[in-house]
């Protein structure tokens, strides 16, 4: 938990440091996308994950080449077992180390007592044999302490694993590509968010301009009401009603300004730099073109699903390999002595060998794991089919929605133009005393209502266009 908080704090420091480094003004969408690709923190983290997967694939490949170790030991002991082993390792063991000095002393004493009589010697040896054999030799049981230095070079390599290492390597390589697809998908999402935010800011600026014009119109209307009141053609309630409407419009204008600031803050977060102003986009987002063949080839979700299917094929082969034996080779070379690296080649040793290991029974676990892998493969096959059908349906739905929004926007633009004219007409009628101030404000409310619907429709339409572009993988990658 502490590590997570520290990491978050570090990211915050980096983020705000970068924000203060440079403020961007009059930023174009093209430049914003370039900055986002280089600076976005989520993309940087995803690219780190890519690099991790590359090393994991190399790790899996490295197991094919075996393992070479060198071991240096420096020991000192007076343990009888160790001493006997040290002498043998150093190729210096003698009969004295076995306690033969005590044995030969007992034999010599017997020969001396026999005084050259072999028969007497043999009889004495037979009588005292058990006593001689019971002697505990001091040289063997109580040796002097000895140093022991051993250098050993060991190499172990797999010769045959039934395909395990091969499949592990293929799976980790496929997972590396999967991480690249994840990064590309994240990039698509960030392109979508950056582009949408650009268009959102542009629409908000357009909304603010239109609201500002409406506020100006209300100010003019307020002046007209005041003049007509002075001449006795308007009432105080008319003036209050206009002021209330101005307050309402001003509140909406303030809220729109705050929304614009929030959008700039989000854009700054995406780019990891402080954005102060952008180049406004006054046109609707262009409709991307697509066909069924390109969809299957380009869509990242379909690519990931198909790659997942290949990985499950590899997983089946991996499970099958568990039914086969594994063969490994072993080689060891070294030298030992009571001095480091002394007479290395004269006292060297080697060991080579092969090992075969074959599991014959483990409670049927391997068979069930194989069946599980086969079922997983069949499931993923259906998931690929479902992904293709689902993405295709989503593209058709988005395309239909965009065309519907295009028709709605065209209608609302006509309605808005008409609402503006109606308002101007009723403002003139009010000055002529034909209409009431309430009638004028109602027409103005209608104008504002249509404006909100128009900008909302444009925003919805743009969002669906960006979503479709992301699905088709036709963003600025």
Q: What is the rounded CA–CA span in Å between residue 253 and residue 452?
A: 12
Range(s) of the chain covered by CATH 1.20.1600.10: 23-65+163-322+363-471
Give which of 149, 122, 99 is closest to 335, Cα–Cα.
149
Q: Which residue has the tokens 């010697």?
A: 121
Q: Which residues are 152's β-sheet partners?
A: 71, 334
Higher pLDDT, 73 or 11: 73
Helix axes 164-230, 29-39, angle to 10 degrees: 140
Please state the pTM of the whole predicted model: 0.79
Residue range 85-91: mean pLDDT, rounded: 80
Is the CB of residue 449 less than 8 Å from the CB of residue 415?
no
- How many C-alpha atoms does 283 have within 13 Å on its Cβ side? 3
Q: What is the rounded CA–CA span in Å between residue 79 and residue 81?
A: 6
Predicted confidence at residue 4, as pLDDT, reads 42
Residue range 336-349: mean pLDDT, rounded: 86
Predicted confidence at residue 293, as pLDDT, reads 77
Residue 281 CB partners (closer than 8 Å, separation 6+): 29, 198, 199, 202
| Percent above pLDDT 70 for the chain | 84
Residue range 183-210: mean pLDDT, rounded: 94
Q: Looking at domain 23-65+163-322+363-471, which of 2.170.120.12, 3.90.76.10, 3.40.190.10, 1.20.1600.10 is its CATH number?
A: 1.20.1600.10
Q: With bands split at pLDDT 50, 70 and 90, how would you rate the model's confidence at 54?
A: very high
Is the CB of residue 475 less than 8 Å from the CB of residue 469?
yes
pLDDT of 380 > 60? The answer is yes
pLDDT of 124 > 60? The answer is no
Q: With bands split at pLDDT 50, 70 and 90, how would you rate the model's confidence at 290?
A: confident
Higher pLDDT, 220 or 2: 220
Task: Choose the weakest-confidence range: 19-33, 47-61, 381-395, 398-412.
Answer: 19-33
What one-character-per-residue DSSP string does 424-439 give? HHHHHHHHTTSS-HHH
Out of 94-98, 447-451, 471-475, give the one with best mean pLDDT.
447-451
Higher pLDDT, 96 or 383: 383
- How many C-alpha atoms does 265 have within 13 Å on its Cβ side? 6
């Amino acid at each position: 938990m502490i590590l997570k908080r520290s990491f978050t704090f570090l990211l915050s420091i980096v983020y705000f440091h970068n924000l203060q480094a440079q403020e961007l003004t009059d930023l174009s969408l093209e430049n914003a996308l370039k900055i986002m690709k280089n600076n976005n923190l989520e993309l940087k983290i995803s690219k780190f994950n890519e690099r991790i997967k590359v090393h994991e694939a190399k790790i899996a490949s490295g197991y094919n080449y075996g393992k070479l170790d060198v071991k240096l030991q420096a020991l000192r002991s007076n343990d009888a077992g160790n001493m006997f082993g040290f002498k043998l390792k150093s190729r210096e063991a003698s009969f004295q180390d076995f306690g033969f000095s005590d044995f030969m002393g007992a034999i010599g004493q017997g020969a001396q007592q026999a005084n050259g009589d072999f028969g007497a010697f043999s009889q004495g040896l037979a009588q005292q044999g058990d006593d001689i054999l019971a002697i505990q030799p001091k040289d063997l049981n109580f040796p002097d302490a000895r140093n022991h230095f051993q250098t050993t070079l060991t190499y172990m390599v797999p010769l045959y694993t039934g395909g395990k290492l091969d499949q592990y390597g293929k799976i980790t390589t496929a997972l590396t590509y999967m991480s690249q697809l994840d990064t590309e998908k994240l990039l698509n999402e960030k392109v979508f968010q950056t582009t949408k935010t650009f268009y959102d800011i542009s629409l908000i600026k357009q909304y603010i301009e239109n609201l500002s014009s409406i506020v100006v119109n209300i100010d003019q209307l307020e002046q007209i009401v005041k003049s007509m009141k002075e001449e006795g053609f308007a009432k105080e309630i008319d003036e209050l009603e206009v002021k209330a409407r101005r307050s309402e419009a001003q509140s909406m204008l303030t809220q729109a300004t705050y929304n614009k600031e929030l959008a700039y803050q989000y854009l700054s977060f995406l780019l990891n730099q402080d954005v102060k102003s952008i180049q406004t986009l006054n046109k609707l987002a262009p409709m991307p073109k697509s066909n069924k063949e390109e969809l299957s080839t380009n869509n990242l979700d379909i690519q990931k699903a198909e790659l997942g299917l290949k990985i499950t094929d590899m997983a089946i082969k991996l499970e099958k390999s568990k039914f086969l034996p594994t063969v490994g080779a072993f080689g060891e070379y070294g030298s030992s002595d009571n001095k480091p690296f002394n007479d290395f080649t004269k006292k060297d040793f080697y060991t080579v060998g092969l090992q075969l290991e074959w599991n014959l029974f483990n409670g049927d676990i391997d068979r069930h794991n194989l069946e599980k892998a086969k079922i997983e493969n069949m499931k993923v096959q259906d998931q690929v089919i479902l992904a293709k059908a689902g993405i295709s349906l989503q593209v058709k739905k988005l395309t239909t929605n965009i065309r519907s929004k295009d028709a709605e926007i065209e209608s609302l633009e006509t309605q808005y133009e008409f609402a503006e004219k109606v308002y101007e007409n009723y403002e003139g009628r009010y000055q002529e005393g034909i209409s009431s101030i309430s009638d004028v404000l109602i027409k103005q409310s209608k104008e504002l209502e249509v404006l909100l619907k128009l900008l909302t429709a444009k925003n919805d339409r743009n969002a669906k266009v960006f979503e479709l572009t992301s699905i088709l993988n036709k963003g600025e990658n």
